[in-house]
Copies of this chain bind each other. A is one copy, B any other.
């Protein structure tokens, strides 16, 4: 927190928000699971019942967005319909059904002097989440924070403000009806950019800030923050087809990793193929990928095997296309594949396809990514697919949480030590 006298309105506003959040966080930290779950279920019900009013507020955002010339993709992400509102409600129901991470004893041991030490999960405290256009993040993020015992401060995109305020209004009403502090979930209703800066510098009040959105947003928050930041950077994911791969499996995994949903961070951006199987693998794989409208940008060796491919530029290695584009490269050894991934990858998700135990072991040992797959698609890096339930994103940081960030990753721990009068000698 900066010096004690607010220099401007945005700072004064952020101060009052973070103070209320900190106060609410104290109450949340010791709240029974049952009361949190009842509030979540009531919120789900309120969302179901409020479809007309949410859609009416959302329509104003969409119309303003159209008038401002927002691109079609953004307008689509901004739009709420009955199905999307039902999905938000069902998300909250799913969060209610997940086990509460708070209070879980992670470890415990006795010391020679008789001290009994327990390491117990507790909430992080106050979490600020800064996100872009999709209004469903409002309910998801608030629900995950509530269940994990954290107070949340939400700052959505200004183009979704009316929708977000309408959703937040429902959530806050439910908190009150359940006898909880409405400040447990707060929505920032100022659109000035400096609010994010003040939030990111509210150390001692805000315990974590999570920017969700484009790289520009994340970098700006990380640059300004004195509060810890949990980053969700890009995913430059690789599929490596080993010399000992089952080539049918390799084709199926490659196509799935690229095509099933190309615009997300766990989609593959680069295919590496061992030269010993390049001639056997690449023609059929390229045909199937091209049939799925994938543009291949290939190294010279690949282009000798499959004619008519676009030459890869140096900038295509390590690039996140987020589109139906795949870089393709022949490598001369497993080690070359590993080194390439550790150099050009983003440490997100990388896969090997092989039947060879040694190759699988070396790949998983050496590839330094949040998720390393053997004979499976990179698309599985996901809270739901991992069985963790809802997630707030995929962390590309190494500290605190790596990979999918679910309820467990939104907690910390404390030590509880029981003695019988021990003093230190």
Contacts and interface: CB of A to CB of B under 8 A. Distances in A.
B228 A397 contact: yes
A373 interface: yes
A422 B115 CA distance: 48
A415 B223 contact: no
A372 interface: yes
Contact of A419 (B260, B375, B387, B412): B375
Contacts of A111: 385-387
A94 interface: no
Nearest to A109: B387
Contact of A117 (B252, B387, B414): B387
A369 interface: yes
Interface in A387-422: 387, 397-400, 402-403, 412-422
Query: How extensive is the interface on chain A, given as a class?
Result: 35 or more
A93 to B, nearest CB: 20
A79 B397 CA distance: 39
Given A223-B226, A374-B417, A380-B419, 17 more contacts: A30-B365, A115-B380, A117-B387, A203-B222, A208-B398, A228-B228, A228-B229, A252-B421, A253-B423, A256-B423, A257-B423, A368-B414, A374-B416, A376-B418, A376-B422, A377-B422, A385-B424
Interface in A122-136: 122, 124-125
A369 B342 CA distance: 39
Contact of A421 (B26, B253, B257, B423): B253
Give the top 8 A-B pairs by smallest Cβ distance, nearest first. Answer: A376-B419, A256-B423, A379-B424, A400-B400, A249-B421, A399-B400, A371-B415, A376-B422
A83 B58 CA distance: 72
A372 B260 contact: no
Contacts of A45: none
Among A117, A342, A366, the one with the most B-chain Cβ atoms within 10 Å of its Cβ is: A117
A370 interface: yes
A56 interface: no
A160 to B, nearest CB: 28
Contacts of A90: none
A421 B247 CA distance: 11
Contact of A372 (B366, B397, B414, B421): B414
Contact of A402 (B374, B414, B416, B417): B414
A343 B398 CA distance: 32
A29 interface: yes
A33 interface: no
Contact of A226 (B222, B400, B414): B222
Contacts of A422: 375-377, 380
30 contacts: A26-B368, A111-B386, A115-B376, A115-B385, A117-B386, A117-B387, A122-B368, A124-B399, A203-B222, A222-B226, A228-B399, A252-B423, A260-B423, A360-B418, A368-B414, A370-B414, A371-B417, A373-B419, A375-B418, A375-B420, A375-B422, A376-B422, A377-B424, A379-B424, A380-B417, A398-B412, A399-B399, A399-B400, A402-B413, A402-B414
A111 B414 CA distance: 30
A148 to B, nearest CB: 13
A372 B413 CA distance: 11
Nearest to A250: B421
A30 B361 CA distance: 12
Contacts of A117: 386-387
A398 B253 contact: no
A399 B122 contact: no
B417 A372 contact: yes
Contacts of A252: 421, 423
Contacts of A399: 124, 207-208, 228, 399-400, 412
Contacts of A373: 417-419
Contacts of A226: 222-223
